Amino acid sequence: MKPLEAGVLFWAERHAIEDVAALGVRIAQLGIGPAVALSPEYAAAWRERIAAADLAVRTVFAAYEGEDYADIPTVQRTVGFVPPETRDAREARTYEVIDFAANIGAPSFACHIGAIAPHGHDAVLHLVRRIADRCAAAGLSFALETGQETAPELLRFMDEVARPNLGINFDPANMILYGTGDPIEAFELLAPQVVSVHAKDGVYPPKSNPEALGAETPLGQGEVDLPRFVSALKAADYSGQLFVEREGVDRDQWIADVGTALNTLARLAL
């Protein structure tokens, strides 16, 4: 059993690293959205900020221009590498983000690749291989964010991709928000491939509307069953690092919710 260590996922264009450091964490995941202009100078500035905050960035996340999480059909149409019309531009952007990640010393790159299950995914499969290889050349793992397909579908896809540095960023809340399975059963199935974990919570979509996404909640107020999830993390041969993720709230609420989540995790980790 490895000790749990809690960190925070924060986004370069939405959150301040000073706010993250003030929460008392030592590890983080850094998100890079589409509005961020990447350059060697930008990476150098982040290296200084990270050192000044005494923070270790374990993963760099990418989100892409045109992604829309309004409901499940919109996600399937717009997110990741599934939409053909944005695939080339997003591939090019991905390589810039990987270069940035390598430049700031992060050991892993992650993103939503999109809903692979309902589409047939040959082009996505080849693209995921190219991204994994690009990550490998830079010394990084490539972590797929969970949720838009069931755990067995994700495992089958990863078997087909067949790249040793391909892993999973497991998000228990996404399994609930997308209605893709019990998060703890999913984690137990995927655990050998999991390289990072989000501490996020949410409630299932209403049964009356099969197109709706569930709603995110503050950690501990949703349907993840956090004590059981933390027990599953402890029971698995997992590094123990988990990153609080909180979306859709303003700065003050973000700081408050992330702080409460870190306290909750500290209690559960005992």
Write out the residues near Mg ion by the rule CB under 5 A.
171, 198, 245
Minimum distance from residue 208 beta carbon to Mg ion (Å)? 26
Name the residue nearer to Mg ion (CB basis): 198 or 246: 198
Name the residue nearer to Mg ion (CB basis): 103 or 158: 158
Minimum distance from residue 147 beta carbon to Mg ion (Å)? 7
Name the residue nearer to Mg ion (CB basis): 103 or 116: 116
Q: Which amino acid, one-letter code, is at 176?
A: I
Name the residue nearer to Mg ion (CB basis): 93 or 198: 198
Cα–Cα distance between 35 and 37 in angstroms, integer?
6
Minimum distance from residue 173 beta carbon to Mg ion (Å)? 7
Cα–Cα distance between 247 and 23 in angstroms, integer?
17
Dihedral of CA atoms 165, 34, 66, 160 in degrees, nearest 10, equals -10
Name the residue nearer to Mg ion (CB basis): 103 or 196: 196
Name the residue nearer to Mg ion (CB basis): 129 or 240: 240
Pairing of the two strands 27-32 and 194-199 = unpaired
Minimum distance from residue 29 beta carbon to Mg ion (Å)? 9
**Other C-beta atoms lying within 10 Å of the C-beta of residue 50:** 19
Minimum distance from residue 110 beta carbon to Mg ion (Å)? 9
Minimum distance from residue 41 beta carbon to Mg ion (Å)? 29
Cβ-closest position to Mg ion: 171
